[in-house]
Homo-oligomer: A and B are copies of this chain.
């Protein structure tokens, strides 16, 4: 697996593949890879002959008090994992290849970015929209794969790709989970053993809430009760537990099986801010 660090080198490789008739998948990441990321690569391989992974810890999506400096980095390990998963090319640009002096362009998706994580992380999705627009235009891939753990991010990316006519199909990859249900995340490394034992409750609590909402319970009381359960379980704070429609992220109070909905949560545990989401599945 080759590693390139410039947009020009990335494009040269993608162009050559396309000239050979290959379809290309892009899997953007911030590195610190885990099994969930390898699932993105695998989904890319299912849709394309060649898979490009990018590793870039994008500074513009971190807020002033967030963990940009502390965000785990380890390209050698990441690179070995990607090669083992069948990735064909790693694009790992330095920050000034992405944001050279004079850079001045912002991309903003209205509406979708104002709820859920947008409230606790002002500007976060502007940074995501900016870097993903760049990565999609840089790679000119046929498909790009993003994890469903960051469901709101996926909704934002689908919106901007459609709105800005970016000719790359956006695909979501299912959430990879540990045995106790904890969604895999690079930030799980921040958890000590005691916190790790608590963390699995996040998924279990919202899964139970989604099940009751699917069976007709009102979402407001259920999500409020779920937030209380997380605090009792040992989380330090709950940013939100909410039921919203899957595409427009509109608030849902009573589940309508004709409109896909999900329960979303974010909660803090020590240094980690963990997020998760689960579908409200129609009652069988």
Contacts and interface: CB of A to CB of B under 8 A. Distances in A.
Contacts of A104: 109-112, 159, 163
A159 B105 contact: yes
- Say how many copies of this protein the assembly contains: 2
A13 to B, nearest CB: 14
B137 A167 contact: yes
B167 A134 contact: no
B107 A106 contact: yes
Interface of A is mostly: mixed
A115 to B, nearest CB: 13
A270 to B, nearest CB: 35
A195 interface: no
Interface residues of A, number: 27
A218 interface: no
Contact of A108 (B106, B112, B134): B106
A11 interface: yes
Interface in A70-129: 102-112, 129
A7 interface: yes
Interface in A139-161: 140, 159-160
